[in-house]
Amino acid sequence: MVMRPLDRKLVRDLFHLRGQVVAIALVVACGVATVVTTRTAYESLVSARADYYARYRFADVFAHLERAPDVLRARIAEIPGVAAVETRVVADVTLDVPGLSEPAAGRLLSLPDGADPRLNAVHLRGGRPLDASRRDEVLVSEAFAQANHLRVGDAIGAVLNGRWERLRIVGIALSPEYIYEIRPADLFPDPRRFGVLWMSRAALGPAFDLDGAFNDVSLALVPEANQEEVIARVDRLLERHGGLGAYGRDEQVSARFIEDEIAQNRVTGTVLPAIFLGVAAFLLHIVLSRLVSTQREQIAVLKAFGYPKRTVALHYLLLAMTAVAIGALLGIGLGLWLGSLVNGVYREFYRFPRFPYEPGAAAVAIAVGVSALAAALGALSAVLRVLDLPPAEAMRPEPPARFRAGWIERAGLLRRLATPGRMVARNLSRRPVRAGLSVLGLALAVAILILARFFSDAIQTLSDVQFRSAQREDVAVSFHRPLSSHARFELAALPGVLSSETYRAVPARIRFEHHSRRVAVMGLHAQPSLRRIVGRDGRPVSLPADGAVLTSHLARLLHVEPGDVVTLEVLEGRRPALTVRVTTLADELLGLNVYLEDRALARLLEEEGSVSGAFLRVDAAASDALHQRLKRMPAVAGVGNRLAALASFEATLARNLGVMNGILVAFSCVIAAAMVYNSARIALSERSRELASLRVLGFSQREVTQMLLGEQAMLLVLALPLGFWIGHGLAKLLADAYAWELFRMPLVVTPRTYAYASLIAVLAALGSGALVRHRLRGLDLVASLKSRD
């Protein structure tokens, strides 16, 4: 095929500008890659979730209660809007896992005998279904089995309602209720110490004295049902049966986590590509503007020879489109690869029967569309200039650069600068918009670097506040039901226990005006030393003798302010409705909590110092002996280990943040390098004559390089504080967006992060500076002097 001359010019111009074309293509690639990565990752997650929820009949509404007879099921099914009801027995138990010294926590769920559950069906990964005639058979969740190397045929110990039993594993299973398998109130999954187990109703019911009764109910709703209405009716029905309050998928822990992940992905998938493609458009703008001014005469000749304006303008638009298309192709490839990596990380956290990485054409189409838009935006002004240029005028060379004393000059700021410094300052102030945009581009790179580190900073703070400041116990023990305060002496007598602090936890619904939330009301010691209430600044909040302390986020959700009186509808025992004045808000990072001094809570509940559990400080040497005892204590429902939780938290973090951090750091390096390279390259081409003159006047290679790169250094110096500011702003944006019920992201940007962002930006700048210096060495002095620019 014969190429038309204009096409040939296009190819040659692209080759001539290859350095800048590559820089633009890389920035576009990063933007497109972020679009493709985040979109395909979350689309895969959304489609796997939709498929799983539908095929395994994930319920819409959940409720836990003390005990209700099976006949109540029919009454629940009659509630308008309810499509299906499943009742079952659920129990939290302590597990003795081979190879694990401390006790693990297990959640036992009953499955109907010999039938599939109507809701929340399990997917069998291995082994066989339960045999209802065998009382000791269990299915265990896949994550728990894998973490503890459990196989079909293995046995684990469990304390069922006070009796120690040996349970045989007959199958490995998954459930839509536990895609994200996490112990309630935990932040990250700890599959080694928390697992879900399924037993037949015939075995589990009698074990917990729930023969012919249930303590948990799930509902599916018809599409047009009013969920709030259904929840209110369920609550009324269950009130007499010790109902703990029904809730929808929005409060179901696993569903909530996935929903939050998708929301977070949407934010990242919008903010990051916008930054990258904006930078790409800007780079295109300066490269094309420069090209059009150096090719004025060529444009004039083309027009003079009768090429229509449109054809010539299209030629320059095509140049932009080609650079962007290269980047888009690269970005799609990169994005698909990174998407599969993210999918791999997801697989570790989210357990689906089928979780394929299936990138849709839509994500690719969006990426292409958005990048084409960036190309068009970037090319716009250059193309308009091509259209406007009258042939006769264009034949004349561009008028010389005009410099005047600007406001900086008049303010006398340059007087102290040496001459090269003045040149730098004047060159920047002569094109303030371009300099400003360059500074903005570099600042965005710095901001992204800050963002990348902010996640680590925030999580580190969260972990410090939670695991070092608030939680100071070694072991936390919770009981199945409240015990008398004498339990404290029994705990103190256990091997290795150095000190203990009991607490009272009461499930309740907190109500203020028309807002309400399900919470656990905690009664703590007046002067706690093992478990304190700590705000995000790391300072402990003291408990008032009267009145309640609320987590700030809960107060916000309920629109409560200090001094307001809230109602606590207790969801156990006599179910009294207590009124309490809120005295203090604690800006806690985890959970939604209500705290009272334990004596005040006892007074309100009219009880004599019942305890729900205790925090223990333990002599490490005796911890194995203590764990052995705790595993078999009938009263103990769960045992938490602070150091183990901290370790799993940090390990999870390293895996999860590693990938994302790597991507962000690499991408922001690309922006920083591309910005510096391009602006130094343009400066070099615009001022090669000037630089050659300086060389002729006796300035050394090094001095001239310093003058050229000094300008870029100046831009970087201006960009750093701006980048810090934008980075902090983006971090705040994310911290605000990540204010969830389960945890809040603290807005912490450490000096180390600022230093790190600056260092990476400077390194990227030095790298591209080296490329330009190489070009400067090749400057032809004689030829540059001869030409009239």
Partner 1 sequence: MVSAGAKDVAVREALFEARGLSKTYVVGEVVVSALAGVDLDLFRGELVVLLGPSGSGKSTLLNILGGLDVPTHGRVRFLHHDLTNAGEEILTRFRREHVGFVFQFYNLIPSLTARENVALVTEIAARSMPPDEALGLVGLADRLDHFPAQLSGGEQQRVAIARAVAKRPDVLLCDEPTGALDCETGKRVLEVLSRANQELGTTTAVITHNAAIAGMADRVIRMRSGSITGIQVNEQRVHPAELEW
Residues in contact with partner 1 by the rule CB under 8 A: 400-405, 418-420, 422-423, 426-427, 430, 689-690, 692-701, 703, 781-782, 785, 788
Residue type, 561: E
Pick 16 or 310: Cβ nearer partner 1? 16
Q: Which of 342, 306, 629 is nearest to 490 (CA)?
A: 629
Closest CB to partner 1 among residues 399, 751? 399
Residue 310 structure tokens: 């449109």
Q: C-beta of 682: minimal distance to partner 1 in Å?
A: 15
Token output for 779: 């400057």
Taken in order 243, 244, 249, 255, is the CA torsion positive or negative?
negative
Residue 422 belongs to what H/E stretch?
Answer: helix 419-430
CB of 667 to partner 1, least distance (A): 35
The one-letter code for the residue type at 465 is V
Q: How far is the CB of 694 from partner 1 (least distance, A)?
A: 7
**Toward partner 1, which CB reaches closer, 297 or 703?**
703
CB of 287 vs partner 1, minimal distance in Å? 22
Residue 298 CA to residue 533 CA, distance in Å, equals 73
- Closest separation between CB of residue 390 and partner 1, Å? 23
450 or 691: CB nearest partner 1 = 691
Closer residue to partner 1 in complex, CB, 405/498: 405
Rounded to the nearest 5°, which phi and psi values hold at 396? -80, 145
Three-state secondary structure call for residue 156: strand
DSSP 521: E
Q: How many CB atoms lie within 10 A of CB 162?
A: 12
CB of 427 to partner 1, least distance (A): 5
> Minimum CB separation from partner 1 for residue 696, in Å?
5
By beta-carbon proximity to partner 1, the closer residue of 212 and 698 is 698
**Which residue, 753 or 784, is less far from partner 1 as judged by CB?**
784
Indicate the residue among 380 and 414 with the shorter CB distance to partner 1. 414
Amino acid at 141: S
Smallest CA-to-CA distance from 87 within 188, 174, 210, 181 is with 210
As measured in angstroms, the least distance from the Cβ of 433 to partner 1 is 17
Q: How far is the CB of 690 from partner 1 (least distance, A)?
A: 6
Q: How far is the CB of 701 from partner 1 (least distance, A)?
A: 7
Of 212 and 419, the one with the shorter C-beta distance to partner 1 is 419
Tell me whether residue 412 or residue 698 sits nearer to partner 1 (CB atom). 698
- Spell 231-254 as b/e; 16+ CB within 10 A means b: bebbbebbeebbbbbbbbbeebbb
Smallest separation (angstroms) from partner 1 to the CB of 786: 8
H-helix or E-strand spanning residue 216? strand 213-221
Q: Nearer Cβ to partner 1, position 579 or 701? A: 701
Q: Please answer whether residues 456 and 734 qualify as being in contact, where contact means their C-beta atoms are separated by less than 8 angstroms.
A: no
Residue 574 vs 777, nearer CB to partner 1: 777
Strands 104-111 and 194-200: parallel
As a whole number of angstroms, the distance between CA 656 and CA 341 comes to 11
Whether 333 and 407 have beta carbons less than 8 Å apart is answered as: no
Pairwise CA distance, residues 72 & 77, whole Å: 9
Straight-line distance from the first to the last Cα atom of the chain, in angstroms, rounded to the nearest whole number: 37
User: What's the closest the beta carbon of residue 697 comes to partner 1, in angstroms?
Assistant: 6
Compute, in degrees rounded to 10, the torsion defined by CA atoms 777, 782, 784, 787.
-170
**Can you read off the two tokens belonging to residue 258?**
């996935």
Residue 399 C-beta: closest distance to partner 1, Å: 9
CA–CA distances in Å: residue 38 to residues 45, 46, 105, 262, 329: 10, 12, 34, 9, 17
Tokens of 15: 């080759």
3-class DSSP assignment, residue 642: helix
Rounded to whole angstroms, the Cα distance separating 189 from 186 reads 7
Give which of 591, 361, 630 is closest to 478, Cα–Cα.
Answer: 630
Closest to partner 1 by CB, 404 or 416:
404
The tokens for 389 are: 């240029």
Would you give the distance in Å from CA 724 to the centre of its chain?
21
- Cβ proximity to partner 1: between 49 and 426 the closer is 426
Q: Which residues are within 8 A (CB) of 430 and not within 5 positions of it... i.e. 6 or more apart?
A: 401, 402, 403, 406
d(CA 328, CA 27): 10
Taking the complex as a whole, the smallest distance from the CB of residue 366 to partner 1 amounts, in Å, to 44
Question: Which residue in the block uniquely carries the two structure tokens 């350095």?
Answer: 19
Reading the block at residue 602, the tokens are 């006892």
CB-nearer residue toward partner 1: 703 or 736: 703
In the DSSP assignment, the letter for residue 177 is G
User: Which residue, 75 or 786, has its beta carbon nearer to partner 1?
Assistant: 786
The nearer residue to partner 1, 435 or 761, going by C-beta atoms, is 435
User: Cα Rg for the chain, rounded, in angstroms?
Assistant: 33
Helices 309-349, 253-294: axis angle to 10 degrees equals: 150
| Nearest-approach distance from CB 680 to partner 1, in angstroms | 16
| Ordered DSSP codes for 327-342 | HHHHHHHHHHHHHHHH
Nearest distance, CB of residue 406 and partner 1, angstroms: 11
Minimum distance from CB of 400 to partner 1 (Å)? 6
Instruction: For partner 1, give the closer residue by CB, 529 or 701.
Output: 701
Q: How far apart are CA 493 and CA 720, in angstroms?
A: 59
Give me the least distance between CB of 688 and partner 1, in Å please: 12
One-letter amino acid of 165 = E
Element at 19 (helix H, strand E): helix 18-55
